[in-house]
Amino acid sequence: METRAGDPGAFVHFDLGRVDSPAFVVDEAKLRANLAVLADVRDRAGIKVLAALKAFSMWQVAPIVGEYLDGVCTSGLWEALLAAEHYQGEIATYCAAYKAEDLPEIFRLSDHVIFNTPGQHQRFKGEIMAARARGDVFDIGLRVNPLHAEGEVPRYDPCAPHSRLGFPVDQLAPEHFEGVSGVHFHSLCEQDFEPLQRTWNALLPRIAPYLGQLKWLNFGGGHHITRADYQRDDLVAFLKDVKAQTGCEIYLEPGEAVALDAGILVGTVLDTHWNGMPLAITDISATCHMPDVIEAPYRPAMLGELPIDEYEDAGEGGAPVRLGGPSCLAGDVIGDYRLPNDAEPGTRFAFLDQAHYSMVKTTTFNGVPLPSIWLWDSKSDTLERVRGFSYEDFRNRLS
């Protein structure tokens, strides 16, 4: 899998020595620029846009997100609690399967509660009635599987064969829409406008008979709207047409697009040696800090790296160095890079586009320390360390 992001932006001017290592650094100015793009699409199309906390939940910047977007979407009780505590606007909650004991709080906190199957919705009718009797106000939604695959990697494609995510549209029946106010679908991953158009064309005939009873349609996430070459005008025209055609409120739930190219992960070379090629061990771990590098897999872009195919043409010596983490996992390998400076113990470097997903997926496997979190504003050059992690954070996750 190849990411189409990795624009260094203002980070080309950032001194990596200003932060400890490892560290996530988020640029507030770039974050605002992304949010402004999303707000512009929202305003021109007359829709609503929710930020997906599953991708980027740095709640220190929640007030900034609230200045631009209509709210957030969450993936269960804990994210809903985080949303209610720190974020503004609407809360839409979807989980592949809810626990009965979590639902009273989810109903209290959420404006939309989206079920993965009609069976689950029916099973929790008693809880829904009890919540509404208490005065909780929320809509019920149903996630559907359009059965139209557009994903590059099956692991990230909710429409891959035998996917558990969403109710297959070819099984929909009128009784499944009893008490349902909206339909949700999410089938994209880092993609352009055309896959959304094709997915909607495949889905529309299946849900058309039920549109008259629906209040809203949620087109989920995976939209790379803030990437420079995304077809935003086409998206706006499409969303306006869908809204006019269906009479429904339209929602988008971008996650990655909120923080695209807005953060880096700073690391340090700890040691080097040779085993058929140059090797370097770093304080950044793929398995602990950037698990998508292994899961996707993909190769993250490096700040200031000379592309591998230009090494010989550049006339500068040195083969690529294979970077790996400090953990005991043999596969804890990030990739082969030519660092902007010689790969020696103490050398600083940074990977691009790491604000989303990497930050929310970190672990302390092997006792590897978590990266600290910094907020930088490239316009004012202010820099704040908003969170550091200690041994106690590692210990307190265990028993």
What is the sign of the dihedral through the CA atoms of 109, 361, 116 and 217? positive
Tell me the mean pLDDT in the region 72-87: 98
- In our burial notation (b when 16+ CB lie closer than 10 A, e otherwise), range 47-66 reads bbbbbbbbbbbbeebbeebb
The pLDDT of 357-375, averaged and rounded, is 97
Instruction: Tell me the pLDDT tens digit for each residue of 307-357.
Output: 656 545 444 446 899 999 999 999 999 999 999 999 999 999 999 999 999
Is the sign of the CA dihedral 251, 263, 376, 396 positive or negative? positive
* CA-to-CA separations, 233 to 193, 217, 225, in angstroms, rounded: 10, 20, 10
| Angle between helical axes of 28-45 and 232-246 (0-180°, round to 10) | 40
Helix, strand, or coil here: 76?
Answer: coil
Residue 160 contacts residue 147 (beta carbons within 8 Å): no
Q: How far apart are CA 334 and CA 286, in angstroms?
A: 6
pLDDT of residue 309: 60
pLDDT tens-place string over residues 23-35: 999 999 999 999 9
Rounded-to-integer distance, Cα 188 and Cα 138, Å: 26
CA distance linking residue 223 with residue 235, whole number of Å = 10
What secondary structure letter does DSSP report for 382? E
- pTM beyond 0.85, yes or no: yes
> Of 362, 390, 357, whose CA–CA distance to 54 is shortest?
357
DSSP conformation letters of 10-71: GGGG--GGGS-SSEEEEEHHHHHHHHHHHHHHHHHHT-EEEEETTT---GGGHHHHHHHSSE
Q: Is cis: bond before 297, omega within 30 of 0? A: yes
Integer Cα distance of 71 and 137 in angstroms: 16
**What's the mean pLDDT in 230-250?**
98
Cis peptide before 22 (omega within 30 of 0): yes
How would residue 6 be classed by pLDDT, with cut points 50, 70 and 90? Answer: confident
Q: Which residues pair with 279 in a beta bridge?
A: 273, 322
Q: From residue 345, give the alpha-carbon distance in Å to each of 325, 332, 337, 341.
A: 14, 19, 16, 11
| Angle CA 148–152–154, to nearest 5 | 70
User: Which two structure tokens, joined as six digits, stand for 66?
Assistant: 């609230």
| Residues 148 and 187: beta-carbon distance below 8 Å | yes
Query: How far, in Å, CA of 117 to CA of 94, rounded?
Result: 11
Compute the distance between CA of residue 71 and CA of residue 85 in angstroms, rounded to an integer.
12
pLDDT at 314 (0 to 100): 43
Q: Region 55-60: what's the mean pLDDT?
A: 98
Torsion, Cα of 126, 131, 134, 138 (10° steps): -140
pLDDT tens digits for range 268-315: 999 999 999 999 999 999 999 999 999 989 999 999 997 656 545 444
Model confidence at 158: pLDDT above 80: yes
Distance between CA atoms of residues 291 and 155, nearest Å: 13
Find out whether 87 and 59 touch, Cβ atoms under 8 Å: yes
Pick from 4-13, 114-123, 168-177: least confident: 4-13
CB 358 within 8 A of CB 289: yes
Q: What is the pLDDT of residue 316?
A: 46
Query: What stretch(es) of the chain map to CATH 2.40.37.10?
Result: 9-24+262-395
Name which CATH class applies to 9-24+262-395.
mainly beta
CB atoms near residue 353 (< 10 Å): 25
Question: Are the beta carbons of 245 and 12 closer than 8 angstroms?
Answer: no
Class of the CATH-defined domain 46-259? alpha beta
Query: What is the DSSP secondary structure assignment for residue 237, as one 8-state letter?
Result: H
pLDDT at residue 310, as a whole number: 52
- Phi and psi at residue 36, in whole multiples of 5°? -65, -40
pLDDT tens digit sequence for 170-191: 999 999 999 999 999 999 999 9
Instruction: Count CA within 13 A, CB hemisphere, residue 126.
Output: 3
Lowest mean pLDDT among 147-151, 167-171, 175-179: 147-151
What residue spans in the chain does CATH classification 3.20.20.10 cover?
46-259
